[in-house]
Amino acid sequence: MTRVYFDNAATTPMDPEVMKQMVQVMESQYGNPSSIHAHGREARTLIEKARRTVAGLLHTSPAEIFFTSGGTEADNMAIRCGIIDHQIKHAITSPLEHHAVMHTLEAMEKAGMIKLSFVEVDNKGAINYEHLEQLLQQNERSFISLMHANNEIGTLTDIKRVGELSEQYNALYHCDTVQTVGHYQHDLSKLKLHFMVCAAHKLHGPKGVGFLHINHKVKVNPLIYGGSQERNMRGGTENIYGIVGLAKALELAYADMEQHQQHVQSLKSRMISQLQEIPGVHFNGETAPDKSLYTVLNVSFPEMEMADMLLFSLDIAGISASGGSACSSGTNIGSHVLNAIGANPDRPAVRFSFSKYNTLQEVDYTVNKIREIVSVNA
């Protein structure tokens, strides 16, 4: 049976080179990095080498990279510690953010810690930058949390522009870059970000590891207390194998980034052109290459009988995709992102997300199966 994996925004298959390096470390490096004996020092050396690799690719200092268990922990640390330690009483986000961001901010608002404002977005999911500036003007000091690329519809935010606004109004800017680290170049020596986030499994690395970049101009306390790991910023014995895998995955991503961008964009463009031939198909979010994450395509299909079975029908045909954010799969709650941009709730929506391992033949196979499903249920 043909199997096609188009759910790479949820997680990516691990690169064989990443797995190979991780296995080597698992087999030979079992010391605790906090131990002062030879085994511990060898493990510590691997972590610091990985930190230097990550920092070098992002044009920042190793002292600004803190390894975490993934994107969710990094988002929570940036938001909670940034707001609490800097005594900020107002936060700005969008109605399209990942729940790791939105639920954290909503919980802080519910606890009376902040006033939360939502910046306006249009029907493509693009930020209203004029409204963002108005919100900044109306409050003494704000904490901004706006992602680089939306994980469901792919619309890109101009993080350079947001960073400049944050500097102008003395705000702190946290950017969830989980979907874009390893897919775009990030030069942290030029971007005016205070916090940015990575999860290794979104760029062909292992699950359960990520990092938080904290600009040296910002001082915060830990979210997780314990030992003195991560320079007293994140207690808990380090995930050595995961950290090594993260650094290797990012290194590979940067080595072939332009080639992968061209390949994956060709997959997305081909699917768009073929799906446009199906009457009633609508694309959610931006699709122009300069405004849209090239790995994500969100599609609303015509109203049909058994619409809730579309994803199941695709799965039966061997195609793995997602109905909006994978973090909400298996629930009956509609996508908060699609709701925010005014998508028709009666039309089934599917997110197709691509990687370097996908092929044009897989796109053709998928679109042919979609035609069959739509025609049967019309």
In whole angstroms, how far apart are CA 365 and each of 239, 278, 359, 360, 369? 39, 15, 10, 9, 6
Q: Are strands 4-5 and 319-320 parallel, antiparallel or unpaired?
A: parallel
In angstroms, the Cα distances linking 162 to 64, 94, 167, 204, 342 are 21, 13, 9, 28, 24
> What Å distances lie between residue 252 and 69, 118, 204, CA to CA?
21, 37, 9
User: How many Å apart are CA 338 and CA 95, to the nearest integer?
Assistant: 10
198 is catalytic: no
- Nearest CA to 51 out of 222, 244, 199, 249 is that of 244
Task: Dihedral sign for Cα 175, 157, 203, 320, please.
Answer: positive
Provide the 10 A C-beta neighbour count for residue 254.
16
Marked catalytic residue, from 81, 175, 198, 327:
327
User: What residues are labeled active site?
Assistant: 327
